[in-house]
Amino acid sequence: MSFFKKLKESIAAKTEAVTSVFKEGLQKTRTALVEKVEELILRRKKIDEDFYEELEEILIGADVGVTTVMKLIEELRAEVKKRKIEDAAELQPILSEKLVELLNGSENPGLNMAESGMTVILFVGVNGVGKTTTIGKLAHRFKSEGKKVMLAAGDTFRAGAIEQLEVWGQRVGVDVIKQQAGSDPAAVMYDAVHAAKQRGVDVLLCDTAGRLQNKSNLMEELNKIFRVIQREVPTAPHEVLLVLDATTGQNALSQARLFGEKSGVTGLVLTKLDGTAKGGIVIAIRNELNLPVKFVGLGEKMGDLQEFDSEQFVHALFAGLILKEEQQEAEAEAN
């Protein structure tokens, strides 16, 4: 059975609605990565140094990451030598399989939820990455599952951050715990945890300040927030989600490295994946960092924040090739 057929069968149980969201959301990356590789294979035909150089450029252009690309090219060279491949067309399924291997390096872990009582999720990340929007969309997701949700406005420094979270609270229909702008974020978290306990909240989503990741005082504030939360809920926070803007490509990878080292990040959320041709950053992050991608933003609508699923991701990326293979099979059967 071919690689693409296996892939299609493995996600047959998944809903078509989710598959279509991934397909639409990854259109720009598909054009930048898969279609360019197809064009290269058709044009060059022969595998030589020029072929490898162009392939490197395409992969780096889609922000698959230099380290990951070098590893990938090295593995392709070894496969070409081992299988004595000369025709570039024979390399396409091998490249596809290698990309899948990189994405499937770890399982798709869902969110870590409290076994009993309240789940506390902390959100970190620099300003402008879509952190507040992600919190709002996740609040909507939890509420639609029948959970009682509360938001904590811990980003007390950025102008308008508290008001922005309040707008999301009203839109979703959940309470927001806040103080005045410039207040101590840890004090906001203390109030929020107490209020959440009193009101029987299932999930508390906490926004935090998002100034530049290399400011040591920001990390000190995060540590203080951790201590305050853990005094009240010893097992919390159950997740520390770093929100990254996929459109920034390698800069997102740098942020993930710095935050991951210093702030106890347990998972990543990649926003605006639908607005970039640099979706290869998902492959770079999965391969170069020991951090799982938990959610991806694939559009503006409430339901467009999707749990990351490597099979859905790859299926959406190679949708055109899967369709082409099915057409070829149908034609072969007809003849």
Q: How far apart are CA 18 and CA 154, in angstroms?
A: 32
From residue 13, give the alpha-carbon distance in Å to each of 16, 23, 207, 248, 312.
Answer: 9, 17, 35, 33, 11
* 128 labeled binding residue: yes
* 304 labeled binding residue: no
- Can you tell me whether residue 251 is helix, strand or coil? helix
* 272 labeled binding residue: yes
* 182 labeled binding residue: no
- 302, 137 Cβ separation under 8 angstroms: yes
- 207, 123 Cβ separation under 8 angstroms: yes
Q: How is 311-331 classified by DSSP, letter by letter?
A: HHHHHHHTHHHHHHHHHHHHH
* 211 labeled binding residue: yes
* 271 labeled binding residue: yes
* 303 labeled binding residue: no
> What is the token pair recorded at 286?
């999965």
* 36 labeled binding residue: no
Site of tokens 């990356």: 29
Give the DSSP letter of residue 181: T
Q: How far apart are CA 179 and CA 187, in angstroms?
A: 8
Q: Which helix (H) or strand (E) holds 125?
A: none
Q: How far apart are CA 99 and CA 101, in angstroms?
A: 5
Q: How far apart are CA 238 and CA 29, in angstroms?
A: 32
* 81 labeled binding residue: no
Q: How far apart are CA 58 and CA 127, in angstroms?
A: 30
* 98 labeled binding residue: no
* 207 labeled binding residue: yes
> What is the token pair recorded at 67?
């380290």
* 240 labeled binding residue: no
* 126 labeled binding residue: yes
* 172 labeled binding residue: no
Residue numbering of the annotated binding site? 125-132, 207-211, 271-274
Residue numbering of the annotated binding site for GTP? 125-132, 207-211, 271-274
